[in-house]
Amino acid sequence: MPNSEDPRSPYVANSQPHPWRRYVAIGDSFTEGVGDPEPTAPNGFRGWADRVAEVLSQQVDDFAYANLAVRGKLIGQIIADQIEPALALAPDLITFSAGGNDVIRPGTDPDEVSQQFEDAVVRLSRDGATLVVFTGIDTNFTPVFRGIRGKVAIYNENIRAIAEKYDCIVADQWALKEVQDMRFFDDDRLHYNRLGHHEIARMVLRALNVPNDLQPMQPDPYPTRTWREARSVDLLWAREYLMPWVLRRLRHQSSGDDVKPKRPDPLPVVTMLPGKDPDGKRGEQV
């Protein structure tokens, strides 16, 4: 069950089993699970969507889950490559996160990206599936992306308006203060790590009012670093992550150009046993 000390309210978990039997996730690296390594997964990552599917699968029979998300994709590519395949799988639950890779790019207009987002929501709502959409995280905590905070805020307001218009559920990253902390992010400073994906899964389940046993995971304290050590870490990050990202932009390449969806078909979910993740150990499969 959700943490009883959670100050947010109201929260009333559904007393009956949730209604969903076929869940399809679409999006980019955030939904693919990049940053949350899992050697047994088809793409080597677990991620929040897998974690949500694991919980949902434990509560109903005949549950199936597909994940069509591919890292590095812009919203136009997600719309072109993932919407029709997703609808063809006849889902009754869809999670849709897109536009983040567009908004972080210099010179992009969050209003124009939002129009594409709305067009996608219209199509995804066609068959009456429950649709979950995501706001972007408040980037004020990180110097790397603090400069785009205003663009993210504009995009978020548009997403909230779209969700209201088409009766979508909003998974609100902007309001999730727990993850506004670099200890919830991978070394690339862009993708959530295991801790971050776990907290996003808790947020999504909360938005769906689905009872669960996922508990908050406490990150390790920040290591104490000298100025020289901190500078060395920054230079390593710039060489290993920033410069390759810039070069891909210049070459009009994407990190997902040769990546296929990790779960293109709706399949039963392999559940990770609870109780080991908080210790940093990979859960056993059953």
pLDDT tens for each residue of 20-54: 999 999 999 999 999 999 988 888 899 999 999 99
Tell me: the pLDDT tens digits for 178-202? 999 989 998 887 899 999 999 999 9
Question: Any alpha helices (H) in 91-168, and if so which ranges?
Answer: 100-103, 110-124, 149-166
pLDDT-derived band at 284, boundaries 50, 70, 90? very low
| Average pLDDT of the chain to the nearest whole number | 83
pLDDT of residue 8: 45
For the segment 55-71, the average pLDDT, to the nearest whole number, is: 95
283 found inside a domain: no
CATH number at residue 163: 3.40.50.1110
Burial of 84-111, coded b for 16+ CB within 10 Å and e otherwise, reads: eebbebebebbbbbbbbbbbbeeebebe
Measured between its terminal Cα atoms, the distance across the chain in Å is 21
pTM to 2 decimal places? 0.79
Percent of the chain beyond pLDDT 90? 61
Q: Return d(Cα 211, Cα 230) in angstroms, integer.
A: 41
56 found inside a domain: yes
pLDDT of residue 280: 45
242 found inside a domain: yes
286 found inside a domain: no
DSSP assignment of 198-260 equals HHHHHHHHHHTT--------PPPPPPP--HHHHHHHHHHHIIIIIHHHHHHHHTT--TTTTPP
The set of residues, in sequence order, having a beta carbon less than 8 Å from that of 112 and lying 6+ positions away, is none
**Residue 92 phi, psi dihedral angles, 5° rounding:** -105, -5
250 found inside a domain: yes
pLDDT of residue 11: 54
Q: How far is CA 199 from CA 4, 158, 216, 277, in A?
A: 16, 24, 7, 12
| Helix 110-124, helix 149-166: angle, nearest 10 | 30
| Angle of CA points 121, 33, 220, to nearest 5° | 125
Count the domains in the chain. Answer: 1
1 found inside a domain: no
Q: Which of 12-16, 100-104, 239-243 has the lowest mean pLDDT?
A: 239-243
For the segment 244-259, the average pLDDT, to the nearest whole number, is: 57
Q: Are 140 and 180 in contact (CB under 8 A)?
A: yes
Q: Which one-letter amino acid corresponds to residue 4?
A: S
Q: Are 122 and 94 in contact (CB under 8 A)?
A: no
276: pLDDT strictly greater than 60 = no
Nearest to residue 177, comparing CAs of 203, 144, 214, 147? 203
278: pLDDT strictly greater than 70 = no
Q: How far is CA 221 from CA 25, 34, 115, 183, 239, in A?
A: 33, 23, 41, 8, 25
Q: Which of 5-9, 24-28, 30-34, 116-120 has the lowest mean pLDDT?
A: 5-9
- Partnered with residue 26 across adjacent β-strands are 96
196 found inside a domain: yes
Tell me: the pLDDT tens digits for 70-112? 999 999 999 999 999 999 999 999 999 999 999 999 899 999 9
Tokens of 267: 């399949």
Domain that holds residue 168: 22-272
108 found inside a domain: yes
Q: Which one-letter amino acid corresponds to residue 251?
A: R
pLDDT-derived band at 218, boundaries 50, 70, 90? confident
Tell me: the pLDDT tens digits for 135-155? 999 999 988 889 999 999 999
- Partnered with residue 96 across adjacent β-strands are 26, 133
